[in-house]
Amino acid sequence: MSDIILEVDDLVKHFKTRRGTVRAVDGIDFSVERGKTLGLVGESGCGKTTVGRTILRLIEPTSGRILFEGRDITKLHKSGLRSYRREMQLIFQDPYSSLDPRKTVSQIISEPIIANKLFRSKREVDDRVAELMATVGLAGRLFNSYPHELDGGRRQRVGIARALAVEPKFIVCDEPVSALDVSIQAQILNLLKELQMLFGLSYIFITHDLSVVHHISDEVAVMYLGKIVEKAPTEELFENPLHPYTKALLSAIPIPDIRHKRERILIRGEVASPIDPPPECRFARRCDHAFDACKEHPELREVSPGHLVACHLMDSQ
């Protein structure tokens, strides 16, 4: 039996605006196994960041259940929520804006330790900060440095050390390497993998970069306009994509190999507005295969073990 750490059940987040309801997340289900990584992929505005924030209850869900180790965290109140947040942490996209510029590296990392009263004495806190810095590969001499003195890669390491400070079981990584150069990106991706092995962490890895998601995830869910359109184990998804959107997305990645020329599937147009979308399949207007059935939204269905697709083409074959 698999050991599920997080289960999300019919999660919905709507934002009411003057122009109508933005259906940012519109009924999605997924689960994450302990010690594994679920990649959440999609383009700007597909709702992937909203999903990440809703799971942490930084944004309140409109409806749906979020079960963390069997407990429904949407029902938690203040004290329960505080202890829940110790189990689950967030690593942000932009290491330039997610660190307080007026605090030193050690102050930033010690903040969650002090807030959660994990250690009392100054000596113990400092020792723990030094240990965390060593874990994420930050030199001890940076203890009293300020964020502006650090490059992007080191800043992201500070963000990771801060997330690890409370010994979480689960980390939501929201585009943690998008702002970094490739050589630094590789260092951070390797670090995240090592930490996962070392502490048995589970990750949700949110990104628009399919090469990165392919590298780090065990399972991948592809989102389009608030819905999951396809979900499968990583190898299966990349070798046998079934949803027309996934296929187009995969074929659009530029591959740094000149012996590997592929036929590109260009999709027409752009992502439609998530404000009050019609009840048809959200991808239908850009889809080359759309037919009558697409007027109704397709359900996510299992087509082979672990491989789920929301597309009417699956029924017609």
Partner 1 sequence: MNEKDLVLDLKNLVVRYETEGGIVRAVNGLDLQIRRGTSVGLVGETGAGKTTTALALLRLVPDPPGVVECERMELDGHDLLSMSESELEKIRGKDISMIFQDPMTALNPVFTVGEQIAESIYLHEDVSYAEAQKRAAEMLEMVGIPGERAAEYPFQFSGGMKQRVVIAIALACRPKLLIADEPTTALDVTIQAQVLDLMQNLRRQYQTSLIMITHDLGIVAEICDEVAVMYAGNIVEKGTLEDVFLRTKHPYTEGLFNSIPYIKDRRAMLTPIYGLPPDPTRLPEGCAFRPRCPYAGDDCTQPQTAHRISDTHYVRCSAYYSRPGFHIKRGADNP
Minimum gap (Å) between residue 292 Cβ and partner 1: 25
Contacts with partner 1 by CB under 8 A: the residue count is: 40
Task: Verify binding: residue 197, partner 1, rule CB under 8 A.
Answer: no
Q: Which two tokens stand for residue 178?
A: 């998008």
Task: Verify binding: residue 255, partner 1, rule CB under 8 A.
Answer: yes
Residues in the chain: 317
Bridge partners, 301 (sequence order) = 309
Task: Verify binding: residue 187, partner 1, rule CB under 8 A.
Answer: yes
φ, ψ dihedrals at 231, nearest 5°: -145, 135
Could you say which DSSP state residue 204 is in? E
Residues 133-172 interacting with partner 1 (rule: CB under 8 A): 151, 153
Considering only 9-17, 49-57, 185-193, 304-312, which stretch makes contact with partner 1 by CB under 8 A?
A: 185-193
Task: Verify binding: residue 248, partner 1, rule CB under 8 A.
Answer: yes
Q: Which residue reads 């440095």 in tokens? A: 145
Provide Rg for the chain, Cα atoms: 21
* Contact (CB, 8 A) for 140 and 161: no
Our measurement of the distance from residue 221's CA atom to the centroid of its chain's CA atoms, rounded to an integer in Å, reads 10
In the set 67, 114, 186, 293, which binds partner 1 (CB under 8 A)? 186
In the set 229, 249, 281, 308, which binds partner 1 (CB under 8 A)? 249
Could you say which DSSP state residue 222 is in? E
3-state secondary structure of 182: helix
Minimum gap (Å) between residue 130 Cβ and partner 1: 22
Binding site for partner 1 (CB under 8 A): 43-44, 151, 153, 181-187, 189-190, 193, 208, 210-212, 214-216, 234-235, 238, 248-249, 251-259, 264, 266-267, 270-271
